[in-house]
Structure 1
Amino acid sequence: MIDVTAVFDIGKTNKKFFLFDKDFKEVYKEYISFDEIEDEDGHPTENLSELQKWLKGVFENILNASEYNIKAINFSTYGASFVHLDENGEALTPLYNYTKPLDEGIVKSFIEKYGPKEDFLKKTGCFDLSLLNSGLQLYWLKHSKPEIFKKIKYSLHLPQYLSYIFTGIPLSEYTSIGCHTALWDYTKKDYHPWVYKEELHKILPPIVSTETSINMNYNGKRIKIGVGIHDSSSALLPYVRSIKKKFVLVSTGTWSISLNPFTEKPISENGESINYMRINGKPVKATRLFLGNEYKIQVKKLDEKFGVKDNYHRSVKFDYDIYTKINKDFKNRFKWEGFSTADMPTETSIPQETYEEAYHQLMTELVLLQIKSIKDVIGDDAIKRLYVDGGFSDNDLYIKLLSHHFRDKKLRTTDSSLGSALGAAISISDTKLNSKFLRKNYALKKHVPFIIK
């Protein structure tokens, strides 16, 4: 039997289960996705009972499997989500989706009590006030659904709720509290005063370190059960544990999130950044850009304009001559759809005659936005290393242009679809990671800037 650590990695779309051996190599995986259900207002939300049923079923099967010996289990999930439990440990409400619109009256009354808004956002490391801040969900429940709020014994962040399913012990931990919840005051290193004034601390369980585990007996087996971890903090953990020098991680996908775990100034002066938290409670300054979403929209338009197949963009490689031509009289050509910038035109205009040229124009403009996002997160910190993972790590133009613009930094790409799951496994292990870990487990690649002719 192989000794393994089990991890449930729960995303909004895909629910995954992994087993890792002692060297953190994946030895087993299982995926599932559920149709969303609707809350009482008809807004789509997670099917909590189906999720719970699946978790228990998968775990029972693995416990009975003759080839694996489960030593530990942990949970990584998306943030900004609470499960509210009554005195019997039953969920009182649906798992409200953080995309659900929040009543403007609630936001207004909150700002009147605890504003000014800019000051509040800076102290709590938030970008806006919405249900993306799970603390606002508690305020909304208290003032809009008081009869339900009165019945809440504990409100658990989603990673800790999954742990609770297996242990029956309600807990809170730093990475879930610290991810743009509006609950944590980064200047005081404690819950923000509003949490105490609204008496929310009474329903928030005791805070423990993310590395905490609880020893439980399952069918006569001793198993270490972790308290769960927020997925963005989890994805950062293998880097923090294995790299000794300061770095910024650019985690790309639908959102491109730049994470600076070494900042001395987590509170952004320009209000454009958000905060996450490391497992030891230290702040991580982060900036975000809706990069993958915009890329998808604009590439689809280019495909239609030039009559090429859907995946043609994947084959386009960086061409120095095209790039030089675009930069000779550089002009922003694309009108963005998922966000707006000061220098974008009112309409998209593509004078280029080939797909390759238009694609180079698009990537040049997108990478300029990415550079600003990375510079904002670095601030005044002396950081010489950049790591890029996720969808854009194998985009030739993105990487070439990024390494060109950051010629003074060492750029590395990593390839791990396991990021947050691996972080969850590492957080409850006593294993020390060395500098070879990323090379062995993450296909680490070095990149050098192209030669300027």
Structure 2
Amino acid sequence: MKTIAVVDVGKTNAKVVLVDGEDFREVAARTMPNGVVNAAPYPHFDTEKLWAFLLESFAALGRERPVDAISVTTHGATVALVGEDGDLVLPVLDYEHDGPQAMAEDYRAIRPRFEDSGTPVLPVGLNAGLQVYWQSKAFPDAFAKTRWLLMYAQYWSFRLTGIAASEVTSLGCHADLWEPRNGRFSSLVESQGWTRLMPAVRRAGDVLGPILPEIAVATGLRPDVPVHCGIHDSNASLLPYVLTRTGPYAVVSTGTWVVVMAIGARPVVLDEARDTLINVNALGDPVPSARFMGGRAFSLLGGKSGDLPPAAIAEVFRRGAMLLPSLPEESGPFPGRKATWTVAREDLGEDAAQAVIAFHLALMTATCLDLIGAEGPVIVEGPFAANRAFLMMLKVATGRAVLSGGSATGTSVGAACLAACRAPEPALASAEDNLPEGAADYAARWRRLACEG
């Protein structure tokens, strides 16, 4: 029986999950918060704390069940600058730090066109290319020591194997570093002299090598455990569907970010001002996408999953209680807009407020689906797949079938597919359609008000 240890580093939490390679069940997991160190030279991820957590988790989980392979998935918009000795030459920048924006005007003059890179101009450090450009100018002495420019998933694979690699799902994640339609590094990489810093491009499922001997000693894992190259987390959620499904459909990957990806979309002109972009899937194909920080909004608003009383939903429709975009205001299809409640939250019961939050997130998601020309059923992965009010309103707003994935951590199962060399037929449940009368009118009014604002 093959057991795959998945390193799953999200923006909010990091996990090591054991996945059964036969039936793709998650059989064990360890989790820690993924905090940011607010210290010089800029806010950064605590990579050494994460590394210690990974080693401890491998040791503990390996005692429960022998590990046969390791696969890595991480959030995007993150780059590690590694020196000849394998150590970081600069800390791994937190992409929510606004320092890179100090050079945004200069960067705009050298960045690739949206039509070529599929990368919109994004705030703070969300364009990985801008991060690297800023680091090269703000810290030239340290940057000069860089040997490898590694995307985040491949950084952890490098730590495990000592082998550097590039990979397209991470390079193609609003980074300005890749041309999705041409399958090559962007003009930015060439013009800035970064080509020499880019390791050879490997497929996400490629085995880079076995774990380093010292890791085997530290964890008790077999020294021949293979480590796969790794994948961007939203593409990990998408992968089982890419491998098993035909026809047009969309996948909504939910976490800190809600990332909407359309397969077989109708042709549309993407609007880079509304956080649309082109991702690249694990097979190297371009995927029209859109996103907003839905999980962050859910957390900031104190959102809760669970069944809501029909009376609370009826109250929301009767009073026209809505949360209009956007939260956080700097991302998503309504950038720069401040969130507003049409009925003060304190004037609503808690259940009604929770319904408003769920409906807001569903309607933001429906907007993203429209922007990228999505067609066919909508598949929801991750935490929002357990939120019935969200699923029901998404079904009403799109007028299409909405299916929920069975896992709260779809990224981990998707990453395990890389090591299993196959994918399970995802178990999907159809969303119910029992919202009371007025749901369609509510969705139409929300869209009208959102667009007018």
Instruction: Give the shorter-chain TM-score range.
Output: 0.7 to 0.9
Partner SS state of residue 139, structure 1? helix
- Report whether the alignment pairs 1:372 with 2:390: no
Letter in 1 for 2:429: K
Aligned-residue offset at 1:200: 0.6
Aligned match of 1:229: 231
The two structures have a TM-score, normalised by structure 2, of: 0.81
Q: How does 1:2-17 map to 2 (within 5 A)?
A: 2-17=1-16
Distance 2:226 2:307 in 1: 46
Aligned match of 1:398: 390
Aligned match of 1:411: 402
Q: Is the 8 A contact 1:176 1:230 kept in 2?
A: yes
Partner SS state of residue 2, structure 2? strand
Distance 2:345 2:236 in 1: 44
Aligned match of 1:276: 279
* Structure 1 unmatched runs, 5+: 301-310
Q: Is the 8 A contact 2:5 2:19 kept in 1?
A: yes
Letter in 1 for 2:370: K
Please report the RMSD computed on the Cα atoms of aligned residues, expressed in angstroms.
3.3
Aligned match of 1:317: 309
- Report whether the alignment pairs 1:192 with 2:182: no
Distance 1:90 1:75 in 2: 19
- Report whether the alignment pairs 1:83 with 2:83: no
Letter in 2 for 1:45: H
Partner SS state of residue 99, structure 1? coil
Q: Describe the shift of the 1:97–1:267 C-alpha distance in structure 2 as closer, same or farther (beyond 3 A).
A: farther
Q: Is the 8 A contact 2:77 2:125 kept in 1?
A: yes
User: Quick one: which of 158, 162, 169 aligns to 1:175?
Assistant: 169
The two structures have a TM-score, normalised by structure 1, of: 0.81
Distance 1:352 1:17 in 2: 40
Q: Is the 8 A contact 1:404 1:450 kept in 2?
A: no
Aligned match of 1:26: 26
Which structure has the larger Rg? 1
Aligned match of 1:243: 245
Letter in 2 for 1:423: G
Aligned-residue offset at 1:163: 1.0
Q: Describe the shift of the 1:429–1:450 C-alpha distance in structure 2 as closer, same or farther (beyond 3 A).
A: same
Letter in 1 for 2:365: Q
Aligned match of 1:438: 426
Aligned-residue offset at 1:29: 1.7
Q: Is the 8 A contact 1:122 1:268 kept in 2?
A: no
Letter in 2 for 1:232: S
Q: Is the 8 A contact 2:383 2:409 kept in 1?
A: no
Aligned match of 1:256: 258
Q: Describe the shift of the 1:46–1:181 C-alpha distance in structure 2 as closer, same or farther (beyond 3 A).
A: same
Aligned-residue offset at 1:156: 1.1
Distance 1:160 1:186 in 2: 19
- Report whether the alignment pairs 1:338 with 2:340: no
Q: How does 1:121-200 map to 2 (within 5 A)?
A: 123-128=117-122, 130-200=124-194
Mean Cα deviation higher: 76-85 or 198-207 = 76-85
Q: Is the 8 A contact 2:180 2:285 kept in 1?
A: no
Q: Describe the shift of the 1:197–1:57 C-alpha distance in structure 2 as closer, same or farther (beyond 3 A).
A: same
Partner SS state of residue 204, structure 2? coil
Q: Describe the shift of the 1:423–1:369 C-alpha distance in structure 2 as closer, same or farther (beyond 3 A).
A: closer
Q: Is the 8 A contact 2:100 2:131 kept in 1?
A: no
* Structure 2 unmatched runs, 5+: 217-221, 438-453
Q: Describe the shift of the 1:348–1:160 C-alpha distance in structure 2 as closer, same or farther (beyond 3 A).
A: same
Mean Cα deviation higher: 291-300 or 253-262 = 291-300
Aligned match of 2:450: none
Aligned-residue offset at 1:221: 4.7
Aligned-residue offset at 1:69: 3.2
How many residue pairs are counted as aligned between the two chains? 421
Q: Describe the shift of the 1:34–1:294 C-alpha distance in structure 2 as closer, same or farther (beyond 3 A).
A: closer
Partner SS state of residue 286, structure 1? strand
Q: Percent sequence identity over matched residues?
A: 23
Q: Is the 8 A contact 1:318 1:396 kept in 2?
A: no
Q: Describe the shift of the 1:93–1:208 C-alpha distance in structure 2 as closer, same or farther (beyond 3 A).
A: same
Partner SS state of residue 91, structure 1? coil
Q: Describe the shift of the 1:237–1:346 C-alpha distance in structure 2 as closer, same or farther (beyond 3 A).
A: closer
Letter in 1 for 2:25: K
Partner SS state of residue 106, structure 2? helix
Q: Is the 8 A contact 2:321 2:343 kept in 1?
A: no
Partner SS state of residue 430, structure 2? strand
- Report whether the alignment pairs 1:426 with 2:430: no
Q: Describe the shift of the 1:206–1:337 C-alpha distance in structure 2 as closer, same or farther (beyond 3 A).
A: closer
Aligned-residue offset at 1:44: 3.2
Distance 2:155 2:177 in 1: 18
- Give per-residue Cα distances to partners, 1:218-275, cap 9 Å, x unaligned: 6665322101111111121122223233211122344332111334758614642023
Aligned-residue offset at 1:208: 0.8
